[in-house]
A and B are shown apart, each in its own frame.
Chain A
Amino acid sequence: MNKADVIVVGAGHNGLTSAAFLAKAGLKVLVLEKNPWIGGAAVSRSLHKDWIYSNCSYVCSLLRPEIFRELELGKHGLHVVPYGGGVTFTRDGDILGNYVDEEVKRREIMRYSARDGDAYLRYSRDVMRQCRLVRSLLMRTPPDPTSWRWRDLTEMRHIGREFAALGPAVLADTIRFHTMSIADYLNEYFESDVVKANLAGSGIIGTALGVQSPGTAYVLLHHYMGDVDGQMGAWGFARGGMGAVSQALASALTSFGGTIKVDAPVAQIVVRGGRVRGVALDNGDEYSAPVVISGLDPKRTFLGLLASGDLDPAIAKRARDFKIRGSSGKLNIALDGLPTFPALGKNNPLAAGDMHFLDSLERYERAYDDWKRGMWSRDPYLDLLIPSLTDPTMAPPGKHFMSVFVQYVPVKVKGQDWTDADREAFKKTVFQQISRYSPDFESLVLHAEVRTPRELEAEVGLTEGNIFQGELTFDQLLFNRPFPGFAQYRGPVKGMYMCGSGTHPGGGVMAAPGANAAREVLLDLKRGNTVPNGWSDD
């Protein structure tokens, strides 16, 4: 009864993806989830009557279409709805709109700087080049550059060829792109601060870096390389909230014969004789399986699931040093009606997209300075969306659901744990910023869920509330993710694997880590591969 071929710890989207591909390969798969619901950070929760909140992740673009198709997620009920628009409000009462149409977007930028309008075309081209390069690596296991194994060498050769094909000029751009700060990178294209601010947000979302920190240009890519129906860089909502992604994955999993058990918090991976034997739950129940895959973040996986005796102290140190810094919070708000944004006017389709309120790079950087000093930003970066404008299932007609991602928010407030009073003050900061651009906003609030890193960690189990399960800096990317020597989804014990966002290619509701991990497990078990290869962009 308590035996399986594979146990997956955590029913987040990557755990479910791994499980689904393994079940599809004919293995008996059991997914154990600590919460009474599944989905990890891809959930739809009804926390206010008649409302559905995507209370963690809130948009869907990175989800690999190869996986969507292979697992037939459409059949299992997932509908990704693209949305357009988005706007940066300026302090002088104007806006910079992110029109979907590239020509119109250019003209909008030209209102701020004529040459920036045209520079935007060059910028898009250069970013797209980098997107293509990185996308080609998403559905692959990173090679170990220090290894002499045939597989690593051929994979290195493959990557070498991808880079060589760029030619020296683009290769130089590539190195520059991946090591520069988003601020320096944008300065090479644009002169208008508003234009730069409009683009800079993508470079810092989810990280504990400022716009002037080298390495942020790569983070930008993480928010550009997704696509909806081949439209690169487009974003969408999962109809019914992000939980729809998890439900579809779960449905696919069960259709292949897999099992999910909720309310089953795993206490430890059971290791005997130098290999994995199964897991033990908090209540002492044991489940045995020769393969255990952890969807938890690297810190929880290495330092929580493994008994300290089963772990080399040097590896434990790596896990402790792994950078998983909480820097963001989230407000989920039920609204009695649509708030008005005077600068937008009525019925402006731009309102369907992400709204931002920082109109200069300096405001971004100062927001980061607050975080460095252990405070939430007094003038924070908000990524505000009203999904109910696009998805009618989120709120009753005429009412709205507003999702407000907030950065920067520290894990501890000036070194102390968050208190309820802190949380209230934090909420007030966010409300104030929104109210400055939408005077009637506060009067429409029916309910607001305020999530700081504390809540994110407690509920979802993301250490420090880091949405990517670990910083997306080069020292923790590719063959360095989560840390050198463990980038191929295998844990330090035979039979143990990792499939969370803490592995390559990282966070976001992408499902690629889960799929890649499944491929490695199948390879070790000498089973036929069920995981699709990445699609070519050519």
Chain B
Amino acid sequence: MTKRIIIVGAGHNGLVCAAYLARAGREVLVLEANAQVGGAAVTRTFAPGYQVPAVAHLLYGFDPAIERELQLRQHGFTDAKSRVLTVALNPDGAPLVHDGREVVSGLSHAEDRQAFTDFMHKMRRLAALLKRQHGRTPPQLTWASWRDAWPLVRLALQMRLLGRADMRELLRMITMPMHDVLEESFAGDLLKGALAVDAVLGTKLGPRSGNTVLNFLHRYTGASAPRVPVGGMGAVSESLASAARAAGVQIRLGARVAAINIESGRATGVTLASGEVIAASTVVSGADPKTTFERLVGLQYLEAELARRIHHMRCEGTAAKLHVALRALPQFKGVDAALVGERLLIAPSALYVDEAFNPAKYGEYSTDPIVEISIPSIADPTLAPAGHHVLSAIVQYAPAHLNGGWEAQRAAFEARVLAVLERYAPGFGSHIVATELLTPADLETQFGLRGGHWHHGELTLDQYLTLRPVPGLGHYATPVQALYLCGAGCHPGGGVMGRAGRNAARVVLQGGVS
């Protein structure tokens, strides 16, 4: 009988999991449907000569422990830019610039300066508590024994150790909408708009939706400012793949897994789209939970109620990706040339974000969307022909389940987004060489993200920690023996962090059961 462990999908979590398993001496085979590794963290060509990070474009919380333990620096991982500033574009003047800790320039209300510093400091302290859970398997919701109860008790103690004031703030704020917290804390619209984006990006939530403070904290569990690796996000994946291979992992590209095979309640391997069957002693799925169970495993192998919970898991993506090849660097209104390479936001107020969100509730796209722009070719000129640039923009809200479907409306939506960009960067349109719009529907077909959801599932308290992805699957192990999950659908969730993969590897090695 084979001892091989198969990892489905060479996304960053799959690669991390593979590398750790191989380093523990296991025989590991990673099967990837696409022609390159990385899943949603890839750099790819969208027009001849132009490359962009195809999905994720900024690196927030990549686990430094993984970076260290897998010696990623030796496998080609370097920062092109280590502290990316956030530049909140102002339709009427100078933008607001902050570095995640302090406001650098552009404040409309002086009192916001200290308020911002204090606020971010507080949020980092609270985020640190969440971060402390990231490296662990979530606690069980049972008091059957002290052993079972300990992780929960430990979490309670950690909360106590925050001190009375912070603990109270955490318990008060954890369910709150970002809008309410912003109203409590700040006066300036531009600042509130920028922070609202941090709370809603990648979700189907608006700033007035509960759980957005949670998403904000989740974003800041990583670093206070994002960074950009040399070679784009794909380089992170390439370095992971290189580290994994060095540890003995075998990676097969273009090998689409069509089914995870189950016999007598146990995963026995996979069947590829080509029909090839590969046996394994253990299968670890880096695909999202819905894809894993509804398409690869089949819900019939689960308990009926678990199948129902997976069926109802919320993972409708609302973020589209727009790539633009430019023959020149665009000029954004009021933005210094030195700042164009930073993270540019179009979200001039929290109200703007909320109005952008409203149509998504009814299956419509935002006519005035929020946009997060990165021009990676500034830090990394290899991405475009000399003198040319690529612009990578996350555009929200573009709900996956658009009324009438995306095919009929993608051109209209792209035109809307370009018009918004034109408003902030007059003359932008004249620089365009080529564009590529990836709607959530495209993300689903091209990257296997169910519902086009970047985080493999909405990050809300009902899908958080032990309840992520759904109750009963919160510990990486599944009710199917020898089948594990390692993707962002698991704790601790989305973002290119790698922690789900690392945690899953630990559980696999311990032979954990759900």
Contact = CB atoms under 8 A, between A and B. Distances in A.
B289 to A, nearest CB: 15
B462 interface: yes
A55 to B, nearest CB: 31
Contact of A214 (B140, B175, B184, B308): B175
A362 B364 CA distance: 13
B467 interface: yes
A366 B208 CA distance: 14
B208 A179 contact: no
Given A321-B184, A365-B361, A213 B209 contact: yes
A522 interface: no
A319 to B, nearest CB: 12
A1 interface: no
B410 to A, nearest CB: 24
A181 B354 CA distance: 17
B401 to A, nearest CB: 13
Contact of A473 (B141, B160, B171, B176): B176
B134 to A, nearest CB: 19
A184 interface: yes
A176 B467 contact: yes
Nearest first, the 5 A-B pairs at minimum CB distance are A214-B210, A172-B471, A484-B168, A179-B461, A176-B462
A69 to B, nearest CB: 34
Nearest to B314: A184
Interface of B: 140-143, 160, 164, 167-169, 171-177, 180, 183-184, 205, 208-211, 308, 312, 314, 354, 358, 361-362, 460-462, 466-467, 471-472
6 contacts: A169-B472, A179-B211, A214-B209, A215-B175, A215-B210, A474-B175
Interface string A137-174: 00000000110000000000000000010011101110
A146 B141 contact: no
B175 A485 contact: no
Contacts of B141: 168, 171-172
A422 to B, nearest CB: 22
Interface in A361-375: 362, 365-366, 369, 372
Contacts of A365: 361-362
B314 A483 contact: no
B210 to A, nearest CB: 3
A435 B208 CA distance: 33
B462 A175 contact: yes
Given A179-B460, A213-B208, A169 B172 contact: no
Contact of B211 (A164, A214, A484): A214
A135 interface: no
Main secondary structure of the interface of A (DSSP, over half): helix
Contacts of B143: 164
A480 B314 contact: no
A377 to B, nearest CB: 14
Given A172-B467, A213-B210, A473 B175 contact: yes
A362 B363 CA distance: 11
A179 B160 contact: no
B353 to A, nearest CB: 12
A246 to B, nearest CB: 33
A301 interface: no
Given A187-B312, A213-B210, A214-B460, A146 B168 contact: yes
B210 A179 contact: yes
A164 B148 CA distance: 12
B314 A475 contact: no
A13 interface: no
Given A473-B175, A475-B172, A475-B173, A188 B167 contact: no
B462 A180 contact: yes
Contacts of B177: 213
B25 to A, nearest CB: 34
A321 B181 CA distance: 9
A483 B168 CA distance: 9
Nearest to A484: B168
A167 B472 CA distance: 13
A475 B181 CA distance: 11
A475 B175 contact: yes
A212 interface: yes
Given A214-B460, A365-B361, 20 more contacts: A168-B140, A168-B141, A168-B142, A168-B471, A171-B141, A172-B141, A172-B466, A179-B210, A179-B211, A212-B361, A321-B184, A362-B361, A362-B362, A474-B174, A479-B171, A480-B172, A483-B172, A484-B168, A484-B169, A484-B172
Contacts of A168: 140-142, 471
Nearest to A169: B471
A145 B160 CA distance: 9
Nearest to A373: B355
Interface string A204-243: 0000000011110000000000000000000000000000
Contact of A485 (B168, B205, B462, B472): B168
A475 B180 CA distance: 11
A317 B466 CA distance: 35
A483 B173 CA distance: 11
A146 B167 CA distance: 7
A323 interface: yes
A365 B208 CA distance: 13
Contacts of B466: 172
B168 A175 contact: no
Interface string A511-534: 000000000000000000000000
* Most chain A CB within a 10 A radius of its CB, from B176, B354, B361: B361
B362 A475 contact: no
Nearest to B463: A176
A171 B139 CA distance: 13
Contact of B171 (A212, A366, A372, A480): A480
Contacts of B160: 146
B461 A175 contact: yes
B154 to A, nearest CB: 15
Contact of A372 (B175, B208, B472): B208
B60 to A, nearest CB: 23
Nearest to A189: B312
Nearest to B176: A475
Contacts of A362: 361-362
Contacts of A485: 168
Interface string A94-121: 0000000000000000000000000000
A365 B363 CA distance: 13
B358 A369 contact: yes
B172 A179 contact: no
Nearest to B212: A214
A167 B142 CA distance: 7
Contact of B164 (A146, A187, A479): A146
A485 B166 CA distance: 12
Interface in A473-498: 473-475, 479-480, 483-485
Nearest to A177: B462
Contacts of A164: 142-143
A504 to B, nearest CB: 14
B171 A323 contact: no
Contacts of A171: 141
B471 A173 contact: yes
Contacts of B208: 213, 372
A475 B176 CA distance: 7
A531 to B, nearest CB: 27
A180 B208 CA distance: 14
Nearest to B179: A372
* Most chain B CB within a 10 A radius of its CB, from A146, A362, A483: A146
Contacts of A480: 171-172
B460 A188 contact: no
Nearest to B211: A214
B314 A145 contact: no
A175 B461 CA distance: 8
A179 B183 CA distance: 21
A379 B466 CA distance: 40
A145 B171 contact: yes
A172 B462 CA distance: 8
* Most chain A CB within a 10 A radius of its CB, from B175, B176, B354, B462: B462
